[in-house]
Protein backbone atom coordinates (compact mmCIF):
# COMPACT_ATOMS: atom_id res chain seq x y z
CA UNK A 1 0.00 0.00 0.00
CA UNK A 2 3.06 2.27 0.32
CA UNK A 3 3.04 5.41 -1.83
CA UNK A 4 -0.36 4.48 -3.27
CA UNK A 5 -1.39 8.06 -2.56
CA UNK A 6 1.79 9.74 -3.82
CA UNK A 7 1.07 13.36 -4.72
CA UNK A 8 -2.54 13.24 -3.45
CA UNK A 9 -3.90 15.94 -1.16
CA UNK A 10 -6.08 14.98 1.78
CA UNK A 11 -8.04 16.84 4.44
CA UNK A 12 -8.86 14.95 7.64
CA UNK A 13 -11.27 16.61 10.07
CA UNK A 14 -10.65 15.99 13.77
CA UNK A 15 -7.03 14.97 13.15
CA UNK A 16 -5.62 16.29 16.42
CA UNK A 17 -6.04 12.96 18.20
CA UNK A 18 -7.56 9.49 18.16
CA UNK A 19 -8.71 7.97 14.91
CA UNK A 20 -8.27 11.18 12.88
CA UNK A 21 -4.60 11.36 13.91
CA UNK A 22 -4.05 7.72 12.92
CA UNK A 23 -5.74 8.35 9.56
CA UNK A 24 -3.66 11.47 8.85
CA UNK A 25 -0.43 9.57 9.60
CA UNK A 26 -1.45 6.53 7.54
CA UNK A 27 -2.35 8.75 4.57
CA UNK A 28 1.00 10.53 4.83
CA UNK A 29 2.86 7.19 5.00
CA UNK A 30 0.99 6.22 1.81
CA UNK A 31 2.32 9.35 0.12
CA UNK A 32 -0.38 11.99 0.68
CA UNK A 33 0.02 15.65 1.60
CA UNK A 34 -2.24 16.24 4.58
CA UNK A 35 -4.29 19.11 5.93
CA UNK A 36 -4.95 18.23 9.57
CA UNK A 37 -8.07 19.94 10.85
CA UNK A 38 -8.51 20.37 14.60
CA UNK A 39 -10.67 22.33 17.01
CA UNK A 40 -9.29 22.73 20.53
CA UNK A 41 -6.09 20.67 20.54
CA UNK A 42 -3.71 22.96 18.63
CA UNK A 43 -0.52 21.65 20.26
CA UNK A 44 -1.39 18.06 19.38
CA UNK A 45 -2.30 19.02 15.81
CA UNK A 46 1.00 20.88 15.39
CA UNK A 47 2.91 17.86 16.74
CA UNK A 48 1.11 15.68 14.20
CA UNK A 49 2.06 18.03 11.37
CA UNK A 50 5.71 17.93 12.45
CA UNK A 51 5.55 14.11 12.53
CA UNK A 52 4.14 14.06 8.99
CA UNK A 53 6.76 16.53 7.77
CA UNK A 54 9.46 14.30 9.28
CA UNK A 55 8.16 11.57 6.95
CA UNK A 56 8.96 13.90 4.05
CA UNK A 57 5.33 14.79 3.34
CA UNK A 58 3.68 18.20 3.34
CA UNK A 59 1.34 18.91 6.26
CA UNK A 60 -0.52 21.89 7.60
CA UNK A 61 -2.91 22.38 10.49
CA UNK A 62 -6.18 24.25 10.21
CA UNK A 63 -8.54 25.10 13.07
CA UNK A 64 -12.33 25.30 12.89
CA UNK A 65 -15.26 24.69 15.19
CA UNK A 66 -17.43 22.37 13.13
CA UNK A 67 -20.46 23.29 15.22
CA UNK A 68 -20.27 26.59 13.33
CA UNK A 69 -22.47 26.45 10.23
CA UNK A 70 -19.89 28.55 8.32
CA UNK A 71 -16.93 26.29 9.19
CA UNK A 72 -16.91 24.59 5.78
CA UNK A 73 -16.82 27.91 3.93
CA UNK A 74 -14.10 29.22 6.25
CA UNK A 75 -11.96 26.12 5.67
CA UNK A 76 -12.44 26.45 1.91
CA UNK A 77 -11.46 30.13 2.06
CA UNK A 78 -8.27 29.35 4.00
CA UNK A 79 -7.32 26.44 1.74
CA UNK A 80 -7.82 28.30 -1.52
CA UNK A 81 -6.60 31.79 -0.52
CA UNK A 82 -2.94 30.77 -0.46
CA UNK A 83 -3.07 28.35 -3.38
CA UNK A 84 -4.95 29.25 -6.56
CA UNK A 85 -4.17 25.73 -7.86
CA UNK A 86 -5.82 24.15 -4.83
CA UNK A 87 -7.17 20.63 -5.35
CA UNK A 88 -8.42 18.10 -2.82
CA UNK A 89 -8.17 14.41 -3.73
CA UNK A 90 -9.50 13.03 -0.46
CA UNK A 91 -11.84 14.37 2.21
CA UNK A 92 -12.18 12.36 5.43
CA UNK A 93 -15.16 13.48 7.54
CA UNK A 94 -13.91 12.15 10.86
CA UNK A 95 -14.54 14.79 13.58
CA UNK A 96 -17.21 13.72 15.99
CA UNK A 97 -18.62 13.69 19.51
CA UNK A 98 -19.86 10.74 21.57
CA UNK A 99 -22.44 11.91 24.06
CA UNK A 100 -24.94 10.28 26.37
CA UNK A 101 -28.34 11.73 25.48
CA UNK A 102 -31.09 9.91 27.43
CA UNK A 103 -34.60 10.78 26.29
CA UNK A 104 -35.63 11.89 29.77
CA UNK A 105 -32.94 14.46 30.52
CA UNK A 106 -31.27 15.70 27.35
CA UNK A 107 -31.40 19.46 26.78
CA UNK A 108 -32.11 20.83 23.30
CA UNK A 109 -28.66 22.48 23.26
CA UNK A 110 -27.05 19.03 23.57
CA UNK A 111 -29.25 17.71 20.75
CA UNK A 112 -28.24 20.60 18.52
CA UNK A 113 -24.53 20.25 19.32
CA UNK A 114 -24.43 16.54 18.48
CA UNK A 115 -26.37 17.01 15.26
CA UNK A 116 -24.21 19.98 14.25
CA UNK A 117 -20.80 18.37 14.87
CA UNK A 118 -21.49 14.76 13.84
CA UNK A 119 -23.87 15.33 10.97
CA UNK A 120 -24.46 18.85 9.68
CA UNK A 121 -20.73 19.58 9.54
CA UNK A 122 -20.09 16.57 7.26
CA UNK A 123 -22.72 17.91 4.87
CA UNK A 124 -21.53 21.52 4.97
CA UNK A 125 -17.79 20.79 4.82
CA UNK A 126 -18.31 18.41 1.90
CA UNK A 127 -20.55 20.94 0.16
CA UNK A 128 -18.03 23.74 0.64
CA UNK A 129 -15.05 21.72 -0.64
CA UNK A 130 -16.73 19.75 -3.41
CA UNK A 131 -15.81 22.09 -6.24
CA UNK A 132 -12.10 21.42 -5.57
CA UNK A 133 -12.43 17.61 -5.60
CA UNK A 134 -11.48 16.38 -9.07
CA UNK A 135 -12.55 13.24 -10.93
CA UNK A 136 -10.76 10.32 -9.29
CA UNK A 137 -11.20 11.95 -5.88
CA UNK A 138 -12.72 10.23 -2.87
CA UNK A 139 -14.68 11.01 0.27
CA UNK A 140 -14.60 8.76 3.33
CA UNK A 141 -17.07 9.30 6.16
CA UNK A 142 -16.35 7.92 9.62
CA UNK A 143 -19.48 6.14 10.77
CA UNK A 144 -19.93 3.61 13.59
CA UNK A 145 -21.51 0.23 14.23
CA UNK A 146 -23.91 2.29 16.38
CA UNK A 147 -25.61 3.30 13.12
CA UNK A 148 -27.02 -0.21 12.77
CA UNK A 149 -27.53 -1.48 16.29
CA UNK A 150 -28.79 -0.20 19.60
CA UNK A 151 -26.18 0.65 22.21
CA UNK A 152 -27.22 0.66 25.87
CA UNK A 153 -26.83 3.85 27.90
CA UNK A 154 -28.68 6.60 26.06
CA UNK A 155 -26.79 6.67 22.76
CA UNK A 156 -29.77 7.11 20.44
CA UNK A 157 -28.76 10.51 19.05
CA UNK A 158 -25.19 9.41 18.43
CA UNK A 159 -26.45 6.32 16.58
CA UNK A 160 -28.90 8.47 14.62
CA UNK A 161 -26.14 10.82 13.46
CA UNK A 162 -24.09 7.85 12.27
CA UNK A 163 -27.07 6.24 10.53
CA UNK A 164 -27.67 9.53 8.74
CA UNK A 165 -23.97 9.65 7.79
CA UNK A 166 -24.43 6.21 6.21
CA UNK A 167 -27.38 7.63 4.25
CA UNK A 168 -25.17 10.53 3.11
CA UNK A 169 -22.57 7.98 2.01
CA UNK A 170 -24.98 5.96 -0.14
CA UNK A 171 -26.68 9.03 -1.62
CA UNK A 172 -23.54 11.08 -2.26
CA UNK A 173 -22.05 8.03 -4.00
CA UNK A 174 -24.92 8.23 -6.52
CA UNK A 175 -24.86 12.02 -6.70
CA UNK A 176 -21.10 12.25 -7.29
CA UNK A 177 -20.54 9.19 -9.49
CA UNK A 178 -21.11 11.25 -12.68
CA UNK A 179 -18.20 13.45 -11.55
CA UNK A 180 -15.96 10.42 -10.98
CA UNK A 181 -15.86 10.87 -7.20
CA UNK A 182 -16.23 7.83 -4.94
CA UNK A 183 -17.89 8.04 -1.50
CA UNK A 184 -17.53 5.37 1.16
CA UNK A 185 -17.57 5.03 4.93
CA UNK A 186 -15.91 2.95 7.60
CA UNK A 187 -17.86 1.83 10.65
CA UNK A 188 -15.61 1.13 13.64
CA UNK A 189 -16.86 -0.51 16.82
CA UNK A 190 -15.20 0.54 20.06
CA UNK A 191 -11.75 2.11 19.79
CA UNK A 192 -9.44 3.04 22.68
CA UNK A 193 -9.25 6.80 22.10
CA UNK A 194 -9.95 9.83 24.29
CA UNK A 195 -13.56 9.55 23.17
CA UNK A 196 -13.98 6.30 25.10
CA UNK A 197 -11.33 6.82 27.81
CA UNK A 198 -13.81 7.65 30.57
CA UNK A 199 -16.10 4.77 29.53
CA UNK A 200 -13.27 2.23 29.64
CA UNK A 201 -11.81 3.56 32.87
CA UNK A 202 -14.60 1.42 34.34
CA UNK A 203 -13.16 -2.15 34.31
CA UNK A 204 -16.65 -3.69 34.05
CA UNK A 205 -17.38 -1.69 30.88
CA UNK A 206 -14.05 -2.71 29.39
CA UNK A 207 -14.61 -6.39 30.19
CA UNK A 208 -18.12 -6.25 28.73
CA UNK A 209 -16.86 -4.67 25.52
CA UNK A 210 -13.99 -7.13 25.11
CA UNK A 211 -16.37 -10.06 25.62
CA UNK A 212 -18.26 -8.90 22.55
CA UNK A 213 -15.21 -9.17 20.31
CA UNK A 214 -14.47 -12.66 18.95
CA UNK A 215 -10.69 -12.03 19.01
CA UNK A 216 -11.01 -10.75 22.58
CA UNK A 217 -9.72 -7.36 21.49
CA UNK A 218 -10.96 -4.20 19.81
CA UNK A 219 -9.71 -2.88 16.50
CA UNK A 220 -6.98 -0.25 16.76
CA UNK A 221 -7.20 3.21 15.18
CA UNK A 222 -4.29 2.17 12.92
CA UNK A 223 -6.27 -0.83 11.62
CA UNK A 224 -9.24 1.40 10.81
CA UNK A 225 -6.91 3.96 9.21
CA UNK A 226 -5.49 1.26 6.91
CA UNK A 227 -9.00 0.70 5.51
CA UNK A 228 -9.41 4.45 4.93
CA UNK A 229 -6.10 4.45 2.98
CA UNK A 230 -7.37 1.53 0.91
CA UNK A 231 -10.71 3.26 0.20
CA UNK A 232 -8.84 6.41 -0.85
CA UNK A 233 -6.51 4.50 -3.17
CA UNK A 234 -6.88 3.39 -6.80
CA UNK A 235 -7.13 -0.20 -5.47
CA UNK A 236 -10.69 0.71 -4.40
CA UNK A 237 -11.66 2.17 -7.79
CA UNK A 238 -14.66 -0.18 -8.01
CA UNK A 239 -15.95 0.60 -4.52
CA UNK A 240 -18.47 3.37 -3.86
CA UNK A 241 -21.51 3.81 -1.63
CA UNK A 242 -20.22 1.19 0.83
CA UNK A 243 -20.01 1.21 4.61
CA UNK A 244 -17.14 -1.07 5.66
CA UNK A 245 -17.42 -2.57 9.13
CA UNK A 246 -14.01 -2.25 10.83
CA UNK A 247 -15.07 -3.37 14.30
CA UNK A 248 -12.92 -6.52 14.64
CA UNK A 249 -16.11 -8.55 14.59
CA UNK A 250 -17.99 -6.71 17.37
CA UNK A 251 -21.31 -8.35 18.14
CA UNK A 252 -24.00 -6.99 20.40
| Binding residues vs ligand NAP (CB under 6 A) | 14, 16-20, 38-41, 65-67, 94-98, 117, 142, 144, 188, 190-191, 193-196
Q: How far is the CB of 221 from ligand NAP (least distance, A)?
A: 7
Residue 193's contacts (CB-CB under 8 Å, 6 or more residues apart) are 17, 18, 19, 221
Closer residue to ligand NAP, CB minimum distance, 38 or 230 = 38
Are residues 199 and 205 in contact, defined by beta-carbon separation less than 8 angstroms? yes
Catalytic (active site) residue 158 = yes
Q: How far is the CB of 86 from ligand NAP (least distance, A)?
A: 21
Closer residue to ligand NAP, CB minimum distance, 212 or 234 = 212
Q: How far is the CB of 91 from ligand NAP (least distance, A)?
A: 14
CB-based closest residue to ligand NAP = 18
Closer residue to ligand NAP, CB minimum distance, 237 or 252 = 252
Q: How far is the CB of 133 from ligand NAP (least distance, A)?
A: 20
Alpha carbon 162 to chain centroid, angstroms: 11
Closer residue to ligand NAP, CB minimum distance, 49 or 179 = 49
Q: How far is the CB of 129 from ligand NAP (least distance, A)?
A: 15
Closer residue to ligand NAP, CB minimum distance, 98 or 123 = 98
Q: Secondary structure of the chain in the HEC alphabet?
A: CCCCCCCCEEEECCCCCHHHHHHHHHHHHCCCEEEEEECCCHHHHHHHHHHHHHCCCCEEEEECCCCCCCHHHHHHHHHHHCCCCCCCCEEEECCCCCCCCCCCCCCHHHHHHHHHHHHHHHHHHHHHHHHHCCCCCEEEEECCHHHCCCCCCCCHHHHHHHHHHHHHHHHHHHHHHHHCCEEEEEECCCCCCHHHHHHHCCHHHHHHHHHCCCCCCCCCHHHHHHHHHHHHCHHHCCCCCCEEECCCCCCC
Q: Which residues are catalytic?
A: 158
Amino acid sequence: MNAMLEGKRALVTGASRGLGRAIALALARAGAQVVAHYYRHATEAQALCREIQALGREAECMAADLADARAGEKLAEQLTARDPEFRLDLLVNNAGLWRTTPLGTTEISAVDELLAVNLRSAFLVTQALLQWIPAGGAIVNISSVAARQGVAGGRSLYGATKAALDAFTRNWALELAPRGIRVNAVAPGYLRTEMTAAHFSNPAMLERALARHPFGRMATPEEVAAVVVFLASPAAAAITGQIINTSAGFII
